Amino acid sequence: MDRLTDGSDLVEVLGDWTSTSAGRAPLYRRLAEAVRRAIHAGDLHAGERLPSERDLARALAVSRATVVSAYDELRSIGLVDSRRGSGTRVVRPPGFRPSVEGRVFGRATPIINRTNDGAGEVISLARAYDPGAPHLRGALLDLVHADLPALLNGSGYHPAGLPELRSAVATHLTSTGLPTEPKQVVITTGAQQAIGLITQMYLRRGWTAVVETPSWPGCLDVLRATGVRLVGVDLDNEGIRADVLSRVMAEHQPDLLYVMPTYHNPTGVLMSTSRRRRIVELAARYAVPVVEDHAYTIGAAEGAPPPIAAFAGTNAEVLTIGSLAKSVWAGLRVGWVRSSIETAERLARHKALADLGSPVLDQALAARLLPQLPDLAGTRISQLRDRLGRARELLTQRLPEWRWRTPDGGSALWIELPGTDARVFAQSALRHGVEVVPGAATDPSGAHDNFIRFPFAFPDDILTELVARLSKAWAERR
């Protein structure tokens, strides 16, 4: 059965095809090289039908002649074959063996690949620009001088987390309105691992998870990797729509609900207090565990309600994820899960199987930084407000047709491109040196195909260059 139903599916496989080893060769040769690499990597299978020349040209925002020439080149080296009535199909020459290095599962593959490869000359919108907080250097030096000898005397194995850090996280969560004991906290290697461990513990192939639409592709990939069925629920200005969620829970009897209440990624919506209470009511009624991801709590607005778990009591099971990636530095791979003590003990066993515990020095550094979060947040919020203002100014000047809602918080705009498939625009943007995350990667239903996520936390010089490149790509697509 052919997997490539249209040109957009092949685009997902090819990723950043304009930056192949063909360098500055004509576009058709770079495209042919990208297809050749995909065949070699095992991403395209023998006998698999490629999209028609017209469909692929539309998806890549190139001329049909470019695709025709690329297919001709692939035919000349024996990697594809075209026959009337059956289209163009992949051919494997005798003795050919694909590489063992396949691509990462899921629609977020280009995003993950860019993370692996580094940004190079491309300005990537796949992740926010978050340099390390100024406090980081001083805290690290203090750690080396004051705490390192004691840390080195220990075994280094703390599957549930370094006790000092578990206590610091518990104190931090309590200050947000969620009373927490250290035994309720499990330390993870970032929020991404937290999602993965929870997924392993709660879900099995064929089960059902409910997510917001849109949602962040990296999170969707973690859920999909388990083989679960995803059911999406739309958002409004108060968060996930409670009326739709109620119907979905009654109809699908899901096994997990995953939400991002503060601030939602990619829309920047802050879930209201009443909506958080309603989620607890529905979770209790249908016995559905709730995972609330607070990895994006540093943002452009203040006064967020307490986490959903603060309203749960003993009526609903809620697991609260947090991270230092946005408030301190993405390179400090420290996250956590807060749950009931019994659930935390189960989760710690899964963590031990994964890696026996996160790096101790990272945890010790995080324990020193957590008490400083209010100061770090204040500085970060002020900076983001300034950069949001600058982004809005630049976009209004250079791209007046684009539409967006000012986010409640976070570090990105969720922008609507009028009358344009963002997957097609992403190809034009890439040729101008910008990697765009199209809405289709965040919502497979097709409801957000004309949206892109626009992180605005870049310094002014990069932000100015970014908008200039996007403006050129937008003009080209006409």
Domains, the chain, in order of start with CATH, read 7-90 (1.10.10.10), 109-131+375-476 (3.90.1150.10), 135-372 (3.40.640.10)
* Position 145 confidence tier, pLDDT thresholds 50, 70, 90: confident
Report the 10 Å Cβ neighbour count for 476.
13
Dihedrals phi, psi of 47, to nearest 5 degrees: 90, -10
Q: What is the pLDDT of residue 116?
A: 46
Cβ contacts of residue 145 below 8 Å, gap of 6+?
none
Mean pLDDT for the stretch of residues 79-93: 83
pLDDT category, 207, cuts 50, 70, 90? very high
Q: For 217-234, what is the mean pLDDT?
A: 93
What pLDDT score was predicted for residue 444?
A: 82
Provide the pLDDT for residue 331: 85
Number of helical H runs and strand E runs in the chain: 17, 15
pLDDT band at 476 (very low <50, low <70, confident <90, very high): confident
pLDDT (0 to 100) of residue 3: 59
* pLDDT(382) > 60: yes
Q: How far, rounded to the nearest angstrom, does the alpha carbon of residue 300 sit from its chain's CA centroid?
A: 20
Give yes or no for residue 244 having a pLDDT over 50: yes
| pLDDT of amino acid 94 | 62
Instruction: Kindly state the tokens that stand for 162.
Output: 């370094």
Of 39-43, 128-132, 271-275, least confident by mean pLDDT is 128-132
Q: What is the DSSP letter of 144?
A: I
Examine the pLDDT at 99 and tell me if it is beyond 80. no
- pLDDT higher for 177 or 378? 177
What percent of the chain lies above the pLDDT cut of 70?
Answer: 90
Of the listed ranges 231-235, 266-270, 334-338, 441-445, the one predicted with least confidence: 441-445
Q: Which of the residue ranges 36-45, 125-134, 353-362 has the most confident prediction, judged by mean pLDDT?
A: 353-362
- Gap between the Cα atoms of 466 and 42, Å rounded: 34
Which amino acid makes up residue 155? Answer: S
Q: With bands split at pLDDT 50, 70 and 90, how would you rate the model's confidence at 59?
A: confident
Q: What is the pTM of this model?
A: 0.83
